[in-house]
Structure 1
């Protein structure tokens, strides 16, 4: 499905739009949540944060801007913020400065996309003939 069409369906709260988003982006959201809070919280806590991300997207879908950002971008931002909020609840005795030192702002969405592009590039290189692959690598 075209992401712009899906974004418009979300904005209008069309039936099934959230199901499509969940089907497409659950793995992406779960990866972000795991990278931020994995190891510090239980699997159930992480699943709760993933669910909260999609609920927040749905509840605020009328505010989505069609021309400015993708659904993936919105979900990445919501996942980062929701994960950090969950950690703040766990570490409520930390000051804001201590929290920022422990969890510096990272552009996880960009990092994940970079890893995806690298994997695609390696797959393309591996599909080349041996002689072409050697020339390409040099």
Structure 2
């Protein structure tokens, strides 16, 4: 693997070759980050376009890259996550985004009491989605971002314009509300 210093020099002196090497080295990582954020919401074409936007952005940002502050890999990862979140928000504003029930992360059930064997997974997921939506905005979005997309409270706070401690308090209260709503059902 090429060092960050050599890669940055190539981006400046031989831009085509530098971009090609950067994409070869980090395409898998960037695609994985974007795909994990958007795969259940947007088609593959939009995901691929977002990945391209990440490399294009970093390529155009090459004059401002300071390797003392971090690696090119870290910069690409941060840009990928932000671009994916931005695309998610733009898509959400343009149309209602439904999270497919079958794609809901099963780990969220770990937060609740034991699950009755008599209720099918789809029924549990349907009920869980309805319960989360019943919390209203921004609470339902906080729960989905935190436990489905596994975003940090800091990232959620930036997107929603709320303080980090507010996000944490709301998430905790919402989980308590969900536990009460779901008690006896799940």
TM-score after normalising by structure 1? 0.67
Between Structure 1 and Structure 2, how many residues are aligned?
105
User: In 2, Cα distance between the equivalents of 1:31 and 1:22?
Assistant: 13
TM-score, normalising length: structure 2: 0.51
User: Which residue matches 1:70?
Assistant: 71
CA shift in 2, pair 1:57/1:100, >3 Å: farther
Q: Which is greater in Rg? A: 2
Which of 127, 139, 145 aligns to 1:103? It is 145
Relative contact order (alpha carbons < 8 A, sep ≥ 6): 1 or 2 greater? Answer: 1
Please give the alpha-carbon distance, in whole angstroms, between the structure 2 residues aligned to 1:96 and 1:26.
34
**Which deviates more, 12-21 or 40-49?**
12-21
CA drift of 1:59 comes to: 1.0
Distance 2:10 2:142 in 1: 36
Cα distance, 1:69–1:24 mapped onto 2, change above 3 Å = same
Q: Whole-Å Cα distance in 1 between the matches of residues 5 and 63 of structure 2?
A: 14
Q: Which runs of 4+ in 1 moved over 6 A?
A: 93-97
- 36-45 or 87-96, larger mean C-alpha shift: 87-96
Q: Which runs of 5+ in 1 are unaligned?
A: 107-138
Shift in Å, 1:9? 2.8
Check 1:30–1:79 CA distance in 2 against 1; reply closer, same or farther (3 A cut): same
Distance 1:74 1:7 in 2: 12
Alpha-carbon distance in structure 2 between the residues aligned to 1:52 and 1:97: 30
Aligned residues of 1:13 and 1:61 also touching (Cα < 8 A): no
RMSD: 2.1
How far, CA to CA, are the matches of 1:9 and 1:98 in structure 2?
Answer: 46
